[in-house]
Amino acid sequence: MLGLMQDRALLISDLIEYAALYHGDTEVVSRSIEGPIHRTNYRELRQRSKQLANALTALGVKFGDRVGTLAWNGYRHMELYYGISGMGAVLHTINPRLFPEQITYIANHAEDQFLFFDLTFAPLIEKLAPTMKTVKAFVAMTDRAHMPKINTGSVDLLCYEDLIDSHSADFEWPQFDEKTASSLCYTSGTTGNPKGVLYSHRSTVLHSFCVCSRDGLGLSSADSALIIVPLFHANAWGIPYAAAMCGAKLVLPGAQLDGKSVYELTRDEKCNFSAGVPTVWLMFFGYVDQNPHLDVKKDIVLERLVIGGSAAPRAMIERFHNDFGAYVVHAWGMTEMSPLGTTGNLLKRHADLPIEKRFDIQQKQGRAVFGVDMKITDDQGKELPRDGHAFGNLKVRGPWITKGYFKGEGGQVLDEQGYFDTGDVATLDPEGYMQITDRSKDVIKSGGEWISSIDVENAAVGHPAVQEAAVIGVFHAKWQERPLLIVIKKPGQDVTGPELIKFLESRIAKWWLPDDVVFVDELPHTATGKLLKTKLREQFKDHKLPTADAAE
């Protein structure tokens, strides 16, 4: 027997319709690429999204066509989010931090019909235009007065505002199967070519419910949300969609992610919620530290920060609590997961714990949200205990997790039970908290035991003179591998290798202590801000540890 409920498709267009009707005056604030702060609201966002849908229809965009973007977090990018997917086409957000040849590869692989770009990327478009095989026109996301003077060869260069102005907002969102593709995002491709993850309307709306749930990210109409995580990075962790679902104010920083700009936008728009990777918050702290005259307690009203992309150092979690009274929601996910998998919310029973114990829990990546099944296994696929000690390969399944890559790249990616192997090594404790200990390809195996490079890195960043740290395994004749700590010092600070190792002695297991410390001016990162350890391993493959002679 089936239930007698109405069968309405879950579509992205319904999100912007709801926001315009029930939260029409709620602001969407952007730091524009042209310079000034721009203010709009959900009602105007719906109107211009419909104008855009009419414009794309006139250009010949059809159901299922891919439309690419090279753009920062701003109101025009939000219009593309809703206009493209709402009309039944596929929004393809391209990460501009990828290598140029990777951008060409994914635009061609996706068969993008049109490519919208922010002014920042005009020189890149001019360079890559001849290599884009399927793009029929490039659209500069600006007005006529700011149009870039670039050569796109035989392919037309159009003006975004001209497109919008030449079409009405009289557009009826089509109804279709909720499993229809809505957006496409490629992985950063640290090995081989990037692979495309194709989201559906259904998966996106279900994911939005999770972001708005109390045990998800808790986004609501009471929030002024500064979205630092890029709109081109796993759909900004789904927050643009969830914000429309609940009516949260959106604050979009554009291209200016330096500490001063983030501080001022947070202050001026009274942001109580934010989401971003640790790197941005390090710059934020740097600005605060360099300007002791700032009235931080008065200026900053942050209550919750979602930190993901890479592990949030404990020192960062502590500082947000101690200096700003803000709670860090340590979250974990992947492009392949839309991306939310776990959130680091505390349980009611933790309220009376000493603050240091609560920090211990917050340092973990959190508990699986409803909709994500999670397990850890050994290399033979046998499930391991959730005891907080066993390390295993982290596998996930759920309604917003990929079942395969676009055009079949990578082949079969699910096991017999439908689980996707994340490539992470993790523990699960009896309360359900998951902690990433490494990427499977980065784990250090020393004398038959595993060393968590992430734990060592987080401990090292706790030193007041350390800005960023990376740990890799280096060959050792006796132990197979031993950890090498690679460090960037904070400006004006100094520390020696022996001092750092002494600092770590009380913070990590003795046999995890690095055998050597190297200081560098910069560390390599992927296009999504993660440490590129493949490059570090290549750079230091011949590094001789001080302990090597004794082992030979």
| 119 is a domain residue | yes
Examine residue 231 and state whether it is found in any structural domain, yes or no: yes
In the numeric block, which tokens belong to residue 328?
């860090």
Separation CA 118–CA 5 (nearest Å): 44
Task: Give the end of a domain, one of 256, 281, 311.
Answer: 256
CB atoms within 10 A of CB 540: 18
pLDDT at 447 over 70: no
Last residue of a domain, one of 203, 235, 256: 256
Residues spanned by the domain of 226? 12-256
Residue-level pLDDT at 410:
86
What are the pLDDT digits (tens) for 392-430?
999 999 999 999 999 999 899 999 999 999 989 899 999
Answer yes or no: is pLDDT of 126 > 70.
yes
Query: What are the CB-based long-range contacts (under 8 Å, 24+) for 316-320?
Result: 316/278, 316/281, 316/282, 316/285, 316/461, 317/359, 317/362, 317/363, 318/359, 319/285, 320/281
**Using CA atoms, how far apart are residues 211 and 246, in angstroms rounded to an integer?**
10
pLDDT score of 448:
59
Asked whether residue 318 is assigned to any structural domain, the reply reads no
Assess if residue 405 is contained within a domain. no
The answer to the question of residue 246 being in a domain is: yes
Look-up: residue for tokens 């994914």?
106
Mean pLDDT of the chain: 94
Residue range 229-243, pLDDT digits in tens: 999 999 999 999 999
Within 13 Å and on the Cβ side, how many CA atoms surround 223?
A: 28
Q: Report the predicted TM-score, pTM, of the whole model to 2 decimal places.
A: 0.86
Q: pLDDT digits over 497-521, tens only?
A: 999 999 999 888 787 899 999 999 9
As for how many domains the chain has, the answer is: 2
pLDDT at 525 (0 to 100):
84
Q: Is residue 138 one of the residues assigned to a domain?
A: yes
The catalytic residues are 187, 336, 445, 450
pLDDT at residue 140 greater than cutoff 60: yes
Helices (H), 412-505: 453-461, 497-504
Of the three residues 256, 281, 315, the one that is the final residue of a domain is 256
DSSP string, 195-258: -EEEEEHHHHHHHHHHHHSTTTT---TT-EEEE-S-TTSHHHHTHHHHHHHHT-EEEE-BT--S
In a domain, 179, yes or no: yes
CATH number for the domain that contains residue 231 = 3.40.50.12780
Taking every pair of C-alpha atoms in the chain, what is the biggest distance, in angstroms?
Answer: 78
Question: What CATH number is given to the structural domain containing 532?
Answer: 3.30.300.30
Q: Which has the higher per-residue pLDDT, 15 or 479?
A: 15
Identify whether 37 is part of a domain. yes
Cα(286)–Cα(284) distance, integer angstroms: 5
